[in-house]
Amino acid sequence: MGCIKLKNIFGEHWKQSYRDLKISPKPTQSGGLASSTTHVAFPWDVGSGGIVSVVDINNFDRNPPVMKLTGHTGSILDMDFNRFHENIIASSSDDFSVKIWDISNVQSNELNEAMFTLNGHRMKVTNIKWNPCVDFGLLTTSFDCSAKVWYVQFFLPFIRDASTGNEFFSVSINEHPSSCSWTPAGDKILVATKDSNVSLIDPRSGKSCDKFKAHDSNKLTCALWLGGSYGNDHILTTGFLNNKVRQLRVWDSRKTDTHLISHEIDSSPSPLIPHWDPHTGILTIASKGDLTVRIFQYMEGELSRAGEFKATGSLKSFCMVPTQVCDRTKCELGRFLFNTDCKQINATSLYIIRRSSSTTMSDLYAEPFENKKYAMADWMAGYERHSVFPSIFKKKCADMVKDKDAGCKFREISKAIHDCNVRFGSNFNNPEFVPVLEQLRDSISDLIKTIKI
């Protein structure tokens, strides 16, 4: 999306769906679904224990082949595909463990043994997230009020079970965590709690960089780092006001004593779960039990409503697919997967109508960028590699901002000239006209400087 503000984004439901499934109805703090560019994962409904099920993202046939990953002895609470190795998926459970699965080259529809089992938490593991830059770095949070960073050493296949051997970092949060995420550079972790507190922690130094109260009510809070071309190192939080009014807030990570933006949504007890797309600046907000999925755009420090759509029923679980899957020839800005009846997973594409057929894709999408991975050993040693955004994109944004400033200044000058004509039109020799002209001269000089920069 080339630095343009979007309105009237709408959702178009797919006629096809992933059918004949048995999706677990057990509640989770996460969205409950996970997607890569090739697969969709969800918890299978079983009487006891937990099974992670995986289907091909392009298979919409009835009774599709379902790969079942068995091994957890408790309910599945969260899943996350590795962005660098899309056949690697992590899962967490009520059984206090995290399992790492490799679904490539699986000969049958059932995988009984995980590549790794991470045993270090003392209570259920509620949220997991792969590092966006570091190869095989995994963040986990648990009801034992701790957050841990693990190094999953896939180049040592003989290590099958890890308790503390692969645990790089552990910190006590002192509260029950409700969400976790990495900064875009993969150097810090962001942990939100059920008491509306948010902690920014540097796992390599073991120090807490910041901690702040995000919302007034002590209810479940989600926190997300707004990275990429549009986020400006800001933090988005979702929470509650007076225990019932749902809120969005935006914070500057460098100064969290007060929020930059506070936006009230509605009154409902269900927490809002956000998804941020750094490629488009689109923020998708959904909540379990809701019918409405809300879409915002965050750009130039402004949070604006960009659209919404209604699901076909109350949401039970959901996720967004990676942006790379979207069909840009149809101006697809995102794709939302959701489950309403525990029998099928539906898909909804987010579209925007082009004003004319001549609108180019560069007007809708930012120039591509990526977080290049680097080794965990380098990360442990303090090495950092930040996302590189194309200079052509930055120049385009700067030019558009400059055009906007020049246009505003020109319109102010035009209005001032019109006011002068009304006020002094009958007598331009009025001495009071001189200071007004001098002010106009300064404004015109300022406009010329703006254009020349």
Statement: residue 127 has pLDDT above 50: yes
Predicted confidence at residue 361, as pLDDT, reads: 55
Contact 140, 148 (CB under 8 A): yes
| Furthest-apart CA atoms within the chain: distance in Å | 94
Other C-beta atoms within 10 Å of 156: how many?
9
Q: What is the mean pLDDT of residues 410-424?
A: 79
How far is it, in rounded angstroms, from Cα 5 to Cα 297? Answer: 8
Query: Considering the chain, what is the average pLDDT of its residues?
Result: 86
Residue 293: count of CB within 10 angstroms of its CB: 22
Residues 6+ apart with CB under 8 A from 187: 202, 204, 379, 384
Assign 452 to helix, strand or coil.
helix
Residue 360 predicted with pLDDT over 80: no
d(CA 103, CA 237): 34
Q: Cα Rg for the chain, rounded, in angstroms?
A: 25
* Mean pLDDT confidence for 227-244: 87
pLDDT at 162: 45
User: Are 216 and 187 contacting, i.e. CB atoms less than 8 angstroms apart?
Assistant: no
Measured CA to CA, the distance from residue 48 to residue 59 in angstroms comes to 28
Is 75 a residue whose pLDDT tops 50?
A: yes
Check: CB of residue 217 under 8 Å from CB of residue 239.
Answer: yes
Note the pLDDT tens digit of each residue in 311-358: 999 999 999 999 889 988 888 999 999 999 999 999 999 998 766 665
Q: CA 194, 197, 202 angle in degrees (round to 5)? A: 115
Q: Is the pLDDT of residue 422 over 90?
A: no
Nearest Cα residue to 132 out of 80, 171, 169: 80
Rounded CA separation 285/366 (Å): 21
Amino acid letter, residue 227: G
pLDDT (tens digit per residue) in 13-68: 999 999 999 999 999 999 999 999 999 999 999 987 799 999 999 999 999 999 99
The angle formed by the CA atoms of residues 335, 337 and 338, to the nearest 5 degrees, is 145
Judged against a pLDDT cut of 90, whether residue 413 lies above it is answered with no
Listed ranges 227-236, 290-299, 435-444; the one with the highest mean pLDDT: 290-299
Say if strands 273-277 and 177-182 run parallel, antiparallel, or are unpaired: unpaired
Can you identify the CATH homologous superfamily of domain 10-363? Answer: YVTN repeat-like/Quinoprotein amine dehydrogenase (2.130.10.10)
Mean pLDDT of 260-269: 94
Helix residue ranges per DSSP H, 157-285: 228-231
- β-pairing, 161-162 vs 116-119, is parallel
pTM of this structure: 0.82
Residues 276, 340: Cα–Cα separation, whole Å: 22
Q: 409 with 447: CB under 8 angstroms?
A: yes
Alpha-carbon span 173 to 141, nearest angstrom: 9
Are 102 and 136 contacting, i.e. CB atoms less than 8 angstroms apart? no
Query: Which of 344, 366, 339 minimizes the C-alpha distance to 282?
Result: 366
What are the φ and ψ backbone dihedral angles of 444, each rounded to 5 degrees? -65, -40
- pLDDT reported for residue 40: 98
Strands (DSSP E) found in 88-174? 88-93, 97-102, 110-111, 116-119, 125-130, 137-142, 146-151, 161-162, 167-172
pLDDT greater than 60 at residue 177 = yes
